[in-house]
Amino acid sequence: MQLKDLLKGLDVIKIAADIDIPITAIAYDSRKTTPGSLFVAITGYVTDGNQYISQALEKGAVAVVTAAEPKEEIPYVLVKSDRLALAVIAANYYGNPANAMKIIGITGTNGKTTSTLLLKRILETVTDAKVGLIGTTNNMIGDISIPSDRTTPESLDLQALLAKMRDAGCEYVVMEVSSHAIILERVAGVHFNVAAFTNLTEDHLDFHKTMENYCDAKAQLFARADRCVINRDDQWFSRISAKAGGQMMSTSVLGMADLWVEHWKLYADGVAFTAVYNGSKVDVILPIPGKFMIYNAVTALACALSLGISLEKAAAALASAKGVKGRVEVIPTPGKPYTVLIDYAHTPDGLKNVLLAVREFCKGKLIAVFGCGGDRDPQKRPIMGKIGTDLADMAVITSDNPRTERPMSIIGDILDGVESYKENYKVIENRVLAIRYAMDIAEKNDIIVLAGKGHETYQEIHGRKRHLDEREVVRQYLKETRE
C-alpha cells in the first residue's frame, strides 16, 4: 500500500514526502517500528511521540505523520490532529473493516460490560451470527477470547482487531466505548449502526474536570450513529439525547418511554420484569441478580430492537444468559455459611448499586471491602467512604490500585466522607489481609462484597502491577481454615 492510499479522507496541511512510497506497516510506538513503516507521532499526556521520531527512522520508518512540523529534513506529513490522523490511516490500512459489519457501541459510567455481553448473547442466539466483542474484561471473536488492556483500544489496535473480526466472518461487533476513546479519537472513522447510553455518574473527573465535559464527551458518540438508545431515567438524558443524530429510542425502568418496564421483581438469583414496547408486553427473566441488571437488560433489548430483532425473541435469549466475571460474581465457599461476591464497582454509583442490590436478598450482615484507585478522580473518595459505611453493616476500607500514590493517603481521603459517629468500619491497608479479615468475622447468612477489582487479577502499587486474584485469596483462606 502506498502513502497516498493511507492519506485518503485525511485533512493534510503539508506533505514533504513521496506519496507513492510503499508502506508495509503503521506504528505509533517507536519501539515497534519496522522497516517500511509509517510512524505516527502522537502527542500524549505522558510522553510526546515527536521525541522518538529519530528512533523510528533509525528502525526503518520511511515517513512520519505529525502535528508538529519537524525542523529536520525528514520525509513527513503535517496534519492538524495526530490522533485523528492515526485513526484514519489505520482504517485505510486495514480496509475500513467496520464498514463490513454492524457496529453497536455502548457508553456510560456503569453497565457497559454487562450490557455488551447480554446483547452479544441475544445476537448469537437469535441470528446465529458470529459476533465480535470489544470491552473491559476481554475481547472476543465469537467464542474465542482475546486479552484486553483497556476498555476501548487505541485506534490502530482497534482497526487491527476489527479486521480480524471481519476476516473471521463476524456480522456484528458489540463494543464498549469509553469517554477517553471518544475524546482521544480512538473510534474516529468507525460508523455506529446503534449507539447506547447506560448512565452517567461521577468518574474520570481527573481527565474531564467537570461532569458537563464528561457528559459532552459521551454525547459525541450519538452524533455518529444511525440509531440511538438512551436511558431516560438518567439525569443527563436531555443533554445526551440533544446530540442524537439518528432515530432515538428512550428506555426507562421508572416510568414510560419507548421501551419501558413494569412489574419488576428481584430475587437472590436473578430479576424478572415485563418489558413494554409499542403496546406489546413481554415477560423477561434474567438469571443475574440486582436491580441495576434490569437497566442492563433493557439497554440490550433496546439495541436488539434497533437492529430489527423482535422483543419476544430477544427476551427469550436473555433467559439463558450467564453472569459476567467480576460483576456480582459468586465465589464458591464450600463449608462456610456465608457468601462472597466480587464486583467491579469502583465509582460511587457503582458501589451504591451493588450494595443496594445485595441488601435486597441479604439475610444476615452485609460486609463491604473496598478502596479507591490512585492517580484518579480524588473527589469521589469521600463519597465512596460515606456510601460504604452507610449501606454496609461493616465496611473494611483498604487499597484498590493505589498506582503511584501512597495507599494510606487515599484511605485518608475515603475516611473524610465517613461521619464521625460511625463505628462500623475498619481500616486494613493490605487488601489480602482485608479480605481475610472480612471472612474471619463473617457469620451465617452474611454476604461479603469485594468491590473494585472485579475481573482484574492484579493490583498496581508504586507503579508496578502485582498478581492479585481475589478468587485465589478466598480459596487459599478456605484451604487454610479447613486444615
Q: Give pLDDT, residue 202.
A: 67
Length of the chain: 483
In 3D space, the residue among 181, 30, 31 whose CA is nearest the CA of residue 40 turns out to be: 30
Task: Output the CA–CA distances (angstroms, integers) from residue 134 to 149, 187, 411, in the order listed.
Answer: 11, 12, 33
The enclosing H or E element of 206 equals: helix 205-208
Tell me which amino acid residue 19 is: I
Q: Grid cell 487459599 — which residue?
A: 476
Q: How far apart are CA 346 and CA 302, in angstroms?
A: 26
Strand, coil or helix: 248? strand
- Contact in structure between 380 and 349 (CB atoms under 8 Å): no
Q: How far apart are CA 31 and CA 329, in angstroms?
A: 39
Task: Output the CA–CA distances (angstroms, integers) from residue 331 to 188, 258, 368, 474, in the order listed.
Answer: 39, 37, 15, 8
DSSP letter at 2 equals B
Task: Output the CA–CA distances (angstroms, integers) from residue 318 to 73, 271, 304, 307, in the order listed.
Answer: 60, 11, 11, 16
- Contact in structure between 106 and 133 (CB atoms under 8 Å): no
Q: How far apart are CA 458 and CA 280, in angstroms?
A: 46
**DSSP string computed for 58-100:** HTT--EEEESS--SS---EEEES-HHHHHHHHHHHHTT-GGGG
Task: Output the CA–CA distances (angstroms, integers) from residue 406 to 348, 402, 429, 437, 451, in the order listed.
Answer: 21, 7, 10, 22, 20
Q: How many CB atoms lie within 10 A of CB 160?
A: 17
Q: Give pLDDT, residue 381.
A: 97
φ/ψ bin of 142: left (φ > 0), alpha (ψ from -120 to 50), beta (otherwise): left
- Dihedrals φ, ψ of 44, to 5°? -95, 180
β-strand partners of 370: 397
**What is the maximum span of the chain, computed from C-alpha positions, in angstroms?**
74
The radius of gyration of the chain from alpha carbons, rounded to an integer in Å, stands at: 24
Any residues with CB less than 8 A from the CB of 85 and at least 6 apart, and which? 10, 40, 65, 67, 77, 79
Q: Give pLDDT, residue 45.
A: 67
Q: Give pLDDT, residue 419.
A: 94
Task: Output the CA–CA distances (angstroms, integers) from residue 466 to 120, 341, 402, 460, 461, in the order listed.
Answer: 32, 22, 12, 6, 7
Cα angle at 360 between 356 and 363, to 5 degrees?
A: 120
- Dihedrals φ, ψ of 437, to 5°? -65, -45
- The list of the chain residues with pLDDT below 50 reads none
The enclosing H or E element of 15 equals: strand 12-16
- Contact in structure between 381 and 413 (CB atoms under 8 Å): yes
- Contact in structure between 140 and 120 (CB atoms under 8 Å): yes
Q: Which domains, ranges and CATH numbers included, belong to the chain?
A: 3-93 (3.40.1390.10), 97-318 (3.40.1190.10), 329-482 (3.90.190.20)
Q: Give pLDDT, residue 268.
A: 73
- pLDDT (tens digit per residue) in 280-339: 999 999 998 888 899 999 999 999 999 999 999 999 999 999 877 888 888 999 999 999
Q: How far apart are CA 50 and CA 74, in angstroms?
A: 12
Q: Give pLDDT, residue 483.
A: 65
Q: How far apart are CA 75 and CA 70, in angstroms?
A: 9
Strand, coil or helix: 106? strand
Cell of 390: 452507610
Q: How far apart are CA 26 and CA 44, in angstroms?
A: 17
Parallel, antiparallel, or unpaired for β 259-267 and 247-252? parallel
